[in-house]
């Protein structure tokens, strides 16, 4: 050993400590900057445009599979699908005909009431590109980006209901946070009676939790929850979820209510991204909704947990008082 | 030992492939079973040539992964540069080990990286921390002997 002809057993490698330190500092700086500075959105968007080829490559196998399924589908299957779609088209167009007369009637009535006009909301269609490969969050990438007018915060729908909202964009695609993600919350109201709550994602794809529901609140299994429009982010009246469980725990101040998203979060591939309407948002969303319902029903304002809890207990106390008076 | 151009090409291609595999869409139930492809590949190249592949590679590919996955920028960059760092620290030891021993060490390395990943997750957002995230490290370790043999063979054939 030790002779110059023999390759040394332990070659001297580089000292990676400083580089590691540098990278760690850089990483934390990036994380901090993204949390604090809004210009990081642009940085991220340009980087996303840089890596979008990878996204495209990654979506190829799925596209190939669906192409293959189309090519090798037998004719009977296609004919069946075609017939089903025709039936659906007939069904829907008859409903649209009814809608037309109803919407003019609605517009007339709203004019009578001096309420603001509701206009059709413009939208663009988009296709699923990839689902985020992170088992701990529910996000997906769709194939529309800033070039198509997509902006952060726009609501995303499928054929059945609300899917989520755009949280970041690049030039050609954008990322959507689904309503079932644990970090997503959406203000909703019960379609039947207008009770307002917050629906927060649970981290499970088929469940959202309705927060701060007083035990006395009139909410039942099967109730449809629609967006209330109070966050000024989603327009009013988009179907969000259907209540699947209402559990009253005598030891807890609030009932535990869970609901199943009506959008097919796992299955849909085509989505609508709703564009911001031209009319002043404050007029459109809130102006006509607050005075329609008795104050007692307001259970959870979109605020910090503590305040919503207080409001809800107040609401509960008010409801109790009303009960005693009767 | 500096790379020949073919090996450099192989290195970059394999890392890019690993990046693609890392973000390849999978059904929700399978996501937790996905091995850390990028981590595995980085560890391999750090062992083969710690002079040319190292922490900075981990950082760059981690940043790309962050953008692709929509994670906070710097999250995966930190995790992967840490993985590469451990690879560069341990390369002499790993080279001397048998394939099985290597696999166990790789499980440990990837597991530590996953642990840091979970810490960052719980710092920057609510994420349930349970031990199932270690599955991907174990699967990575199980894949190691095959990956190592395959890449060694490819590299030899390219440089021969």
Determine the straight-line distance between the first and last CA of chain A, rounded to whole angstroms: 100
Closest CA to A228 of A279, A280, A289, A270: A289
- Whether the predicted pLDDT of A4 surpasses 90: no
Encoded tokens for A183: 């970090």
Which of B78, B91, B127 faces A27 most closely, judged by CB atoms? B78
pLDDT in tens, A149-189: 898 889 999 888 999 999 988 888 889 999 998 889 999 99
CA atoms within 13 A on the CB side of A266: 10
Interface of A with B in 22-41 (CB under 8 A): 23-24, 26-31, 33-35, 40
Q: Are A27 and B59 an interchain contact pair (Cβ–Cβ within 8 Å)?
A: yes
**Minimal-distance CA residue of chain B relative to A45:** B67
Mean pLDDT check: name the lowest of A125-139, A236-250, A263-277, B60-74: A125-139
How many Cβ pairs within 8 Å bridge chains A and B?
Answer: 132
Pick from A19, A27, A36 the residue to mutate for testing the B interface (most B CBs within 10 Å): A27
Whole-number pLDDT of residue B102:
93
The mean pLDDT value for B95-116 works out to 92
Which of A14, A29, A51 faces B68 most closely, judged by CB atoms? A51
Whether the Cβ atoms of residue A317 and residue A311 lie closer than 8 Å to each other: no
Backbone phi and psi for residue B108, each to the nearest 5 degrees, phi listed first: -60, -45
Q: How many angstroms separate the CA of residue A153 from the nearest CA in chain B?
A: 15
Encoded tokens for B104: 């166990």
Whole-number pLDDT of residue A87:
92
Which of A13, A134, A141 faces B50 most closely, judged by CB atoms? A13
Q: Is A228 helix (H, G, I), strand (E, B) or coil?
A: coil
Q: Where along chain B do its domains lie?
A: 5-159
Give the torsion through C-alpha atoms of A178, A179, A184, A185, to 10 deg: 160
User: How far apart are the C-alpha atoms of A217 and A190, rounded to whole Å?
Assistant: 11
- Whether the predicted pLDDT of A212 surpasses 70: yes
Whole-number pLDDT of residue A324:
43
CA angle B144, B150, B156 (to 5 degrees): 130
Which residues in chain B are closer than 8 Å to A63, comparing Cβ atoms?
Answer: none
Measuring CA to CA, how many Å separate B74 from each of A29, B3, B135? 8, 28, 23
* Cβ of residue B129 closer than 8 Å to a chain A Cβ: no
Which of A35, A44, A136 faces B127 most closely, judged by CB atoms? A136
Whole-number pLDDT of residue A304:
39
pTM of the model: 0.62
The mean pLDDT value for B129-154 works out to 88
Whole-number pLDDT of residue B132:
78
By CB neighbour count within 10 A (0-12 exposed, 13-18 middle, 19+ buried), where does A13 fall?
Answer: middle
Whole-number pLDDT of residue B129:
63
Whole-number pLDDT of residue B2:
55
Confidence of residue B121 (pLDDT cuts 50, 70, 90): confident
* Cβ of residue B130 closer than 8 Å to a chain A Cβ: no
């Amino acid at each position: 050993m030790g002779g110059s002809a023999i390759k040394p057993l332990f070659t001297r490698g580089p000292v990676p400590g400083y580089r590691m330190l540098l990278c760690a500092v850089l990483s934390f700086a990036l994380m901090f900057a993204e949390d604090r500075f809004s210009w990081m959105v642009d940085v991220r968007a340009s980087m996303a445009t840089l890596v979008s080829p990878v996204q495209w490559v990654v979506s190829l196998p799925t596209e190939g599979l669906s192409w293959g399924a189309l090519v090798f589908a037998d004719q009977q299957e296609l004919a069946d699908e075609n017939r089903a779609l025709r039936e659906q088209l007939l069904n829907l167009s008859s409903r649209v005909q009814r809608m037309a007369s109803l919407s003019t009637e609605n517009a007339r009535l709203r004019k009578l009431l001096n309420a603001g006009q509701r206009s059709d909301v413009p939208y663009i269609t988009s296709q699923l590109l990839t689902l985020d490969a992170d088992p701990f969050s529910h996000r997906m990438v769709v194939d529309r980006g800033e070039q198509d007018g997509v902006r952060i915060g726009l609501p995303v729908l499928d054929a059945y209901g609300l899917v989520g909202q755009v949280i970041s964009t690049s030039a050609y695609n954008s990322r959507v946070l689904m309503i079932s993600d644990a970090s997503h919350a959406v203000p909703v109201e019960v379609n039947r009676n207008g009770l307002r709550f917050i629906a927060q994602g649970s981290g499970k794809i088929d469940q959202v939790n309705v927060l701060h529901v007083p035990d006395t609140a009139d909410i039942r299994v099967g109730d449809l929850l629609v967006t209330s429009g109070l966050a000024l982010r989603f327009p009013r009246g988009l179907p969000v979820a259907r209540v699947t469980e209402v559990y009253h725990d005598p030891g807890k101040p609030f009932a535990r209510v869970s609901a199943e998203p009506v959008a097919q979060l796992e299955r849909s591939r085509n989505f609508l991204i709703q564009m911001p309407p031209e009319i002043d948002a404050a007029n459109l969303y809130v102006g006509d909704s607050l005075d329609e319902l008795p104050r007692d029903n307001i259970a959870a304002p979109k605020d910090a947990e503590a305040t919503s809890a207080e409001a809800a207990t107040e609401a509960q106390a008010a409801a109790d008082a009303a009960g005693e008076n009767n | 030992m500096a790379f020949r151009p073919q090996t450099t090409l192989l290195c970059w291609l394999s890392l890019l492939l690993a990046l693609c595999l890392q973000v390849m869409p999978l059904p929700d139930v399978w996501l937790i079973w996905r091995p850390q492809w990028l981590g595995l590949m980085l560890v391999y190249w750090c062992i083969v040539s710690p002079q040319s592949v190292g922490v900075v590679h981990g950082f760059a590919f981690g940043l790309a992964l962050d953008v692709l996955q929509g994670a906070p920028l710097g999250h995966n960059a930190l995790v992967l540069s840490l993985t590469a760092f451990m690879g560069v620290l341990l390369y002499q030891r790993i080279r001397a080990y048998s394939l099985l021993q290597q696999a166990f060490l790789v499980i440990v390395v990837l597991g530590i990286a996953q642990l840091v990943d979970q810490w960052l997750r719980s710092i920057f957002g609510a994420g349930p921390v349970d031990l199932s995230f270690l599955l991907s490290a174990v699967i990575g370790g199980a894949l190691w002997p095959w990956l190592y043999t395959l890449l060694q063979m490819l590299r030899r054939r390219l440089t021969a």
